[in-house]
Amino acid sequence: MNVLKTLGRLTAGLQLHMQRLAINDGRSFNVGGFHRWKVGDATVTKVVELEGEGFGDFLLPDAKRETLNTTSIALSHLGPRGGIKLSVHSFIVEISGKRVLVDTNVGNGKRRKVPIWNKLQTPWLTDLERAGFAPNTIDMVVCTHLHIDHVGWNTTFVDGRWVPTFPRARYLFVRGEYDYWAARQADPARAELFADSIDPVVRAGLVDLIDADAEIAAGLRVTSTPGHTDHHASVLIDSNGVRALITGDFLHHPVQVLHPDWSSSFDTSPATSVSTRLAWFAKLADERILIFGTAFPDPSAGYIVRDGRGFAFEPVESS
């Protein structure tokens, strides 16, 4: 049995290495342009760092190819081998005269245990500028939680040290989320993440610790969506009578709309994440709130609707 486990780990490691070669190759994932949506008077723009099929194999272990009902999933949400496709991207919300960047992905040059994300060198920052968002024009950076694929571009490596990428921005972390992970730096990987992506913006005096339910700008607030982490938050937009929710990682892929009980292997509390999804799916469907999936490949926006006793995802194309 131990031999089989060892072989399984080696096989999984080899698969991740091959996926790194296929995905983490320095290309831009925004060559076709940038997706934008109107939410009332607000505008939401997506800028992609990475996208591929390989992520899902270890992130959503229940979503194996043989278990997927592909007739209920958009083909664009699946990869060429029939597995789920995921995206690592940021959303920029322009609202009430503010430019708010939600989640900062993996980042360049960060040493990470996940092979796909280790020592990335992508043109994401250049793509962000091409989309019209130079770093010094960002007013706020909101991290839905402090996992490695949501904080990486908080900093860039300049003259031998990590410095804030967005020097004019206030970086907003949920207080409970920050305190939880700050107390767990005995883990070398967690300590390294803090050293290269969190501590530099704290030392620069750019961080505001906020409540899990707090208004951060007119028409924009964070709202508690626990389970993936204990203090995970999503971002709620309310502009001119139209509402939308940027999910963060309480929801990773449209397949979880069909299967709310399929939790991420990185959820701190899988049972809580299921409860959060079910409660929010009902609210989103009944109140007709648009969602932006933080890990959804194109189309990344849509509505959750009731479908018999369950729910379904109706994609909405960008404008």
Categorize the per-residue pLDDT at 8 as very low, low, confident or very high, splitting at 50, 70 and 90: low
pLDDT, tens digit (0-9, with 9 covering 90-100), for 18-56: 555 666 678 999 999 999 999 999 999 999 999 988 666
Q: Is residue 239 pLDDT above 60, yes or no? A: yes
Q: Is 194 left (phi over 0), alpha (psi -120 to 50) or beta?
A: alpha
129/125 Cα distance (integer angstroms): 6
Q: Is residue 17 pLDDT above 60, yes or no? A: no
User: What is the residue range of 198's domain?
Assistant: 2-316
Q: What is the pTM of this model?
A: 0.92
Q: Is residue 15 pLDDT above 80, yes or no? A: no
Query: For residue 233, what are its two tokens?
Result: 């938050």
pLDDT, tens digit (0-9, with 9 covering 90-100), for 162-217: 999 999 999 999 999 999 999 999 999 999 999 999 999 999 999 999 999 999 99
Single out the residue of 90, 185, 98, 109 nearest to residue 138, CA to CA: 98
Higher pLDDT, 235 or 71: 235
Q: Is residue 57 pLDDT above 80, yes or no? A: no
Contact 255, 297 (CB under 8 A): no
Q: CB neighbours of 206 closer than 8 A, spacing ≥ 6?
A: 164, 167, 169, 170, 171
pLDDT, tens digit (0-9, with 9 covering 90-100), for 292-318: 999 999 999 999 999 999 999 999 988
Total tally of structural domains belonging to the chain = 1
**DSSP, res 309:** T
The enclosing domain of 145 has a CATH number of: 3.60.15.10
Percentage of residues in the chain having pLDDT higher than 90? 79
Categorize the per-residue pLDDT at 75 as very low, low, confident or very high, splitting at 50, 70 and 90: confident
